[in-house]
Structure formats: structure tokens, C-alpha cells
Structure 1
Amino acid sequence: MRLLQMISCIGLLLLASAANAGNASDHTNNWAVLVSTSRFWFNYRHLANVLSMYRTVKRLGIPDSQIILMLADDVACNPRNAFPGTVYNNADRALDLYSNNIEVDYRGYEVTVETFLRVLTDKVDQAITPRSKRLRTDENSNIFIYLTGHGGNEFLKFQDAEEVSAFDLADAFDQMYQTKRYKEILFMIDTCQANTMYSKFYSPNILAVGSSELDESSYSHHADSDVGVAVIDRFTYYNLEFLEKINKNSTLTMRDLFESYDPVKIHSHAGVRTDLYERDIAHVKITDFFANAQAIELDDYEDDESDV
């Protein structure tokens, strides 16, 4: 009887181990694509949103060589800025997000729908596009894609001049899948009616989250009276508040992050789409997307006595 109990326990342990293995990430590198699609002074908060996410992923180890940063870059030196050469995300101005440590890959009128989609699918002109401005991912890459700006039902504005649709984005992701440009994607968007932007996705291994439902606005968190405009959006603010607790060795999961969303605080209903994603988000570490993974290969080493 005792032998049967031991065999049963071993079997349960093996099943549990297999289940955990199925939920473990085996990606080898992390990338981030961070885009503020707005321009003009009154959209200060969108620049602060994207620079805040940029600071977070860099703090957690994703290097600039694996971050594509796209923004209008017209706020820090705007004549209305009471604090020239700076961008803040909090009214106490404790942290300048616009420092010597930022590397902008696409700025101003380079930030277009065409450029964004070409970067995702690697259809840029490789003869004239530096490696630093290309998304050089592969089938082992986890990619965090963050968008912020002004949106509507199944569209996102780019600099008040054009729009990218939910269909455009879904097709771009499918091209990425077909050409083996990612292992998993975390798509996050902070706009009005944000959740409609991931409604058309159909490619596997995409985890998507947005700030607001259809016909809902995405609201700013607070303004700085000296700056004169709102300095961050609510959805991004509360994501950052949670992510500040994270370090590279954190065991917190994506489910922990999603369960922290409080519609009372955010003033809208954040949405999460998991049906295209294969792993259980309860076992997906936040660091699988927001931190950096490095592939390490160990070679057998034998002392060569002839060299001694």
C-alpha cells in the first residue's frame, strides 16, 4: 500500500512539473516598441506616458538596442514649457523623464502609420535604415508593444493627420507571425475606446490589454499647475505604480497586474484579451515582457594540461 502511495505521489509531482513547464517561458530575448502617436503641447501626457514606459523597461534591463522609441518630441523644448528641456509625469517633478539617457529612434514627422507598420514587419529600407532603428526580432523574441494617443472605435490617430485601424494592426501582427518575428507579444494601449483596437487580432500568442471599452474615454490622472497641462493618463499611471514594485527577479505575474486594475481609480474599464494566448496568465511572469532575458549557452570546459 505504501509503495502504491509513493508511486501516486511521484506521478502527481511529475504532472505538476509538466504543467509548470508548459507555462514557463522559453524565449531568449526581449524587445519593446513604444509609441506616442500624438504631437502638440496639449498632448504632453502622451509623451510622458511613453517615456515612463521607456524608463520602466530600461530599469528592468531591456537595452536601448532592443527598444524602438517613437514620439513627436515637440514638448521638452516647446516655448510653453516652464521647465525647458524636461518632461515630468508627476506634479512634484521628482523625476525628469527627458534626460541625456533617452534614445529616440523615430521623431517628429517620422512617426507615421507607414513607418510604424514597416518597423513591425521589418519592411524598412534596410540599405539606409540603421540597425538601431530596426526591430530585429526572431521566433524566440517576446515583444512588448505600447501605444498611447487619441483613439476611437477601432482606430488610433497618428499626429492628427492619419489613422491606423484595428484591421491594419491585426494584419501586421499576422505578417510578423508568418515570418517568425515573435514568440509572444504583449500589446498594451492607452487611448479612448482602446479595447476596440485589439478586437480584430487573429494571430496566436498575443496577450492584449487596453485602457477603455467601446464608447469610453481614457482619462488623465492629474495636471501640474505650473506646466499647465495634464502630465500622465490614469491607466498608464496605475500600471506604472504596480511596475515600480517589480525588479528583475520578481515572481509577480500578468494576472497580478491585471487584477490590480480598479475601474474606480482608472475611471474606465480596462480590458484583457487572452483567447489567442496559449499560456495561463497566472503563471506568466511580468518580467517575461517588461524585463530582459538573455540566452546563455554553457560549453563543456576541459583543462588542457599541455598549456599549464
Structure 2
Amino acid sequence: MPSTTPFTSPAWKRCLPLAIIPLAFLLLANRLDAVNHSNNWAVLVCTSRFWYRSVKRLGIPDSNIILMLADDMACNPRNMFPGTVYSNSERKLDLYGDGIEVDYRGEEVSVENFIRLLTGRVAEGTPRSKRLMTDERSNILVYMTGHGGDEFLKFQDAEEISAFDLADAFQTMWAKKRYNELLFMIDTCQANTMTSKLYSPNIVATGSSAKGENSYSHHADSDIGVAVVDRFSHFVLSHLEGMNKTSSSTLQDFVNAYSYDIFHSNPGARSDLLGRSMSEVLMTDFFGGVSSVELAALPADSPVGSAAEPTKPEAIWKLTTSRWNSARRTADDSFAGPGRSLQGHANWRKLSPTLLLTLTFAAHFWAAHKLT
């Protein structure tokens, strides 16, 4: 009689596909836990027009970009190249470009309007293009540039927003479930002081200079006689231009590239409020578009549905909480040992959700076929 082992027995061969299913669900669950948002938004303030083209190129639609420009540099009479804005003296990349949509301009760019925009307290007749239509599954990029100092940023050289004002606005957003995670970036003198008062959950922040330091321009265009971009904004723009929609670059990679030699100041980053490491946060979690998939449970009596319960998309792709948790517990016990968890393996979270879906349903249908 030929010898058998647990791994060559017929019983094990029948159970193997079923063992794969909870593992596949676990891998997909870990990936979805890491990216728990369904839409990205960007609020670009003052001279942040440089960012409009970049976030749009990476997938954030015009409808999800709020652009506030105090001055129209493209149409300024001193601009020798009307209708254009360049970030370098070679003028190879027009940041203004075709189809740029300015939502707040001139006197509309005020502290009051900015805070109302963030908190959703805009006037009743405000058009949709001037509203931040976010929810608890939205990731938001807030990028601000301009003149500032110790815990303040100027608007129009006439009023200021303080670090306390900003912190309270973000807290209101969190209380009203207006974001999932928020990335705050600021390029101004003593920029890091504007992040010092933040206290709301799920926020990561970075600034271009420390307290007591200036933020400097990068280079000038001799034809128009002014500096065309700040050092910090130039650095970020260059980083984004090297990315695409599928880039694996993380916030930690971005921050690791900071250098005094580049900025002539000491930029800083604050992630203590975020709840996860910056090495787990993809740049495209804030700068790119989002393609979201929600899993759903199949009818209990059939892996592919039944005539009594049609296989509608929402019925097929939605995995109930109880079954999800059960699958994860099963995988934990089977592959990590009783009471231990496989959750948190960073390499698994980087696997393609499409690959995991394919593995899951291939194993499911294979098992259903073999056991019938």
C-alpha cells in the first residue's frame, strides 16, 4: 500500500482550493485596508497654479480640483508671454496650459472663503465648482504658498490665516466626516510653524522651512526679470513629473530626498497624526485618481448566484462584514497559527488588487467544480 502524507492525501487535495480562498481574501483585505478611500481632491491656494497641471495629469479630474488664485500672472501686462506660466527659464513646460479652471480668483481668495470651503459652510447659492464635495472616504491634498511667518500665512497682503485657524478648520472637517486622510503642504517662510498646532486624526503635513528660516526662490527668467518658482515648489514639481498614475513612490521616499543643499532651508514633515507610516502612503494616494472596487457576497446557496437572486453588480461584489472577518480569521489560524495574525505584511499589501481578485474567484470556481 503506497504511503501517503497529509499533503498527498485525497482529502488534502480537495481542501486545498478552499484553503486558498480565505488567504486570497486576506491579501485583498489588507490592500483595501491600506487604501480606504474612494476619491481624491486637491485644494490649491495662491501660487499653487503650478500643481494644477500635475495633479490633473496624475488622474484627479477638474471637478475635484479647487484652485484659488489671488493674481492672474498669465494675463499680467508685464508677462512677455501672455496666457502662459512657466516653472523654468527654458519655458519647456507651460503650467497654465489649456483648460485650466480657476474657481476662486482675485478678491474671492480670502481667509473666510478658504475656511468656508474646507468646512462646507459656503453660501446656499454657491455653484458646485466652488464647493469641496468630500466625505469620509475622500483623501484631500491642501497645498498653500505665499508670504508668511511664524504661525501665519498672508492672504492678499491684507489678512492672515494663523496656525490655530487652520488647525480648527481641519478639526471641523474631521468632525463633519469630510475626509479620510489629509495631506497638508505649505511653501512659505517659517512654513513648519503652520503645522505645529494641528491635532486632528489622519493628517500628514510638510513645510518648506523651519522656524526662523526663509524659503527661497529657485531661479529667475531674465526676459521677464523675476523668479519663476520657489525652491520647494520646483523640487516637488520635478518629483511629480517623474511619476505616473501607477507609481509606487511613497511619501517617505519624497521626504527622504529633502536636502538643505537643495532648499537652503530645513523642510520638515509631521506624521504623528496619520496613524500609519509614511512608507505605506503612496504619493498617488493624494496626487492621483482613484479606481475603487468594493467586494460583495455571493448568494449563500450558489457561488454564481441564482434565478431567485439575480447577480447584480452590487450583489456580486459586496463581501459582508461577517464573511470577510470569518475568512480572515480562517486564514490567520491556517497559515499563521491559532491566535496569530497575518495582517500587516507590507509586501502583500503592495500586490495588485486585480491579481488578488483573479486568484480569489479562480480558486472559488475551481473548488465548486471539483466538489460537485
Task: Give runs of aligned pairs for residues 250-265 of structure 1, distance below 5 A.
Answer: 250-265=247-262
Count of residues in Structure 1 that have an aligned counterpart in Structure 2: 281
TM-superposed CA distance for 1:99, in Å, is 2.8
TM-superposed CA distance for 1:61, in Å, is 0.4
C-alpha separation in 2, matches of 1:122 and 1:276: 22
Determine the structure 2 residue equivalent to 1:282. Answer: 279
CA RMSD of aligned residues (A): 2.5
Determine the structure 2 residue equivalent to 1:30. Answer: 40
TM-superposed CA distance for 1:82, in Å, is 1.3
- Which TM-score applies when normalising by structure 2? 0.71
Q: 1:141 to 1:29 in 2, by over 3 A?
A: same
Partner-residue secondary structure (3-state), 1:213: coil
Determine the structure 2 residue equivalent to 1:225. Answer: 222
Identical amino acids, percent of aligned pairs: 61
Structure 2 unaligned spans of 5+: 7-19, 299-303, 308-372
TM-superposed CA distance for 1:152, in Å, is 0.3
Determine the structure 2 residue equivalent to 1:120. Answer: 118
Contact residue 23 and residue 283 of structure 1 kept, 8 A: no
Q: Of 66, 69, 81, which residue of structure 1 is paired with 2:67?
A: 69
Determine the structure 1 residue equivalent to 2:342. Answer: none
C-alpha separation in 1, matches of 2:265 and 2:33: 31
Q: 1:207 to 1:92 in 2, by over 3 A?
A: same
Determine the structure 2 residue equivalent to 1:147. Answer: 144
Partner-residue secondary structure (3-state), 2:44: strand
C-alpha separation in 2, matches of 1:279 and 1:73: 38
Partner-residue secondary structure (3-state), 2:115: helix
C-alpha separation in 2, matches of 1:186 and 1:77: 31
1:239 equivalent to 2:236? Answer yes
Task: Give runs of aligned pairs for residues 180-191 of structure 1, distance below 5 A.
Answer: 180-191=177-188
Q: 1:260 to 1:20 in 2, by over 3 A?
A: farther
Q: Of 94, 97, 100, which residue of structure 2 is paired with 1:99?
A: 97
- Which TM-score applies when normalising by structure 1? 0.85
Q: 1:24 to 1:221 in 2, by over 3 A?
A: same
Contact residue 53 and residue 96 of structure 2 kept, 8 A: no
C-alpha separation in 2, matches of 1:278 and 1:18: 20
Q: Deviations over 1:231-276 (max 9, x none)?
A: 0000111111112121111111110001011111111101000111
Partner-residue secondary structure (3-state), 2:205: strand
C-alpha separation in 1, matches of 2:306 and 2:60: 35
Partner-residue secondary structure (3-state), 1:118: helix
Q: Of 193, 199, 222, which residue of structure 1 is paired with 2:196?
A: 199
C-alpha separation in 2, matches of 1:271 and 1:20: 30
